[in-house]
Amino acid sequence: MNCLALVLLFFYCVLLHDLSNNNNNRNDGKRPDGLTLVPWQSWHCATWDVTVVHTLAASYVSQSAVQAGSAAAAASDRKIAKYSNLSSSHVFFPVAVETLGALADDGHTFIREVGRRAALCTADPRETTFLYQRFSIVIQRFNSICLANSFSISESSG
């Protein structure tokens, strides 16, 4: 699931780096999904980790019924805690999106900034809009694949 959402970010973040060559790995060997090669803010590189949570999962459905986007917000908070050791050396952006489309605030901040920077490079002010559209399409495609895979094909004897 993370790879589907991450594909969108690769369109706009051209300069990526393999984190395995740096000292950015956590003690348990896990690492964020991406890192910019150029400084993002205050001479710190940006890192991000994408997660997609199912809005209607049993663990989220009660809080999702009360507040839209609460499952994404909870996933974002978990990502921040997971990568808290990067805060001194990197600007970390958790990108948490729900299967029904809600995006956590930190994800909005990151996507808007990536879109703004892309617009500076391309001189097209619609870059942020394009990024949100692509994000939406990937989520819709993912949902259609999940729905299609939920049907069982039974062979009828005839």
Q: Per-domain residue ranges for the chain?
A: 2-146
pLDDT digits (tens, 9 = 90+) for 29-73: 667 777 777 888 888 888 888 889 988 888 888 888 899 899 999
- Is the predicted pLDDT of residue 116 greater than 70, yes or no? yes
Q: Which of 30-44, 115-129, 144-158 has the lowest mean pLDDT?
A: 144-158
Mean pLDDT of the chain: 79
pLDDT digits (tens, 9 = 90+) for 135-149: 889 889 888 888 888
Distances (CA, A) of 62 to 58, 67, 105: 8, 9, 20
> How far is the C-alpha of 43 from the C-alpha of 26, rounded, in Å?
21
